[in-house]
Amino acid sequence: MDEEYHDYTVQVPSVLGQIYFSVETYYHEMMPAECVEGIFSYQDSVGQTQSLNVVNPVVYWEVRRGNTQIYDKFYAEQYAKPLLVSDSDYSANDVFKIAVQYKWINAPIKDYTVRMYSRMDVNVNIEDSDQKT
């Protein structure tokens, strides 16, 4: 998997309890630190370059309901940090868009999973921009 942004969409057919979204890769210490540690550099809000020594891939992901951003997170991933969407915060047939970008640093395995958990008993597929599940 490359380090570009990737977009995913899911349409929920009904309202039935809370929805959880998550984006996750290999958990902290599943791979030896020497395989994944490195320097992550980025531009801060005033345009200065900042560098961090990290031992996990860095992930940015956001969730939009329609065109409204409801979640925006950037962190060195040690474990999954799911988003909870209350049943009062979505409607039947709402479309959620998930944008994901990983910075793999030195990770030898570049793979992640986008998930949605709910009580809905129907098949709900998350599709990428090529409409593949």
For 102-118, the pLDDT digits (tens) are 988 888 888 899 999 88
pLDDT digits (tens, 9 = 90+) for 68-127: 999 999 888 878 889 999 999 999 999 999 999 998 888 888 889 999 988 876 667 787
42 lies in some domain: yes
Instruction: Indicate the burial class of 8 (C-beta count within 10 angstroms; 0-12, 13-18, 19 or more).
Output: buried
20-54 b/e with 16+ CB inside 10 Å = b? ebbbbbbeeeebeeeebebebeeeeeeeeeeeeeb
69 lies in some domain: yes
26 lies in some domain: yes
117 lies in some domain: yes
133 lies in some domain: no
47 lies in some domain: yes
Give the mean model confidence (pLDDT) for residues 46-74: 90
64 lies in some domain: yes
Q: How many domains does the chain have?
A: 1
Domain that holds residue 33: 6-128
In contact, 59 and 75? CB cutoff 8 Å: yes
In contact, 113 and 14? CB cutoff 8 Å: no
pTM of the model: 0.84
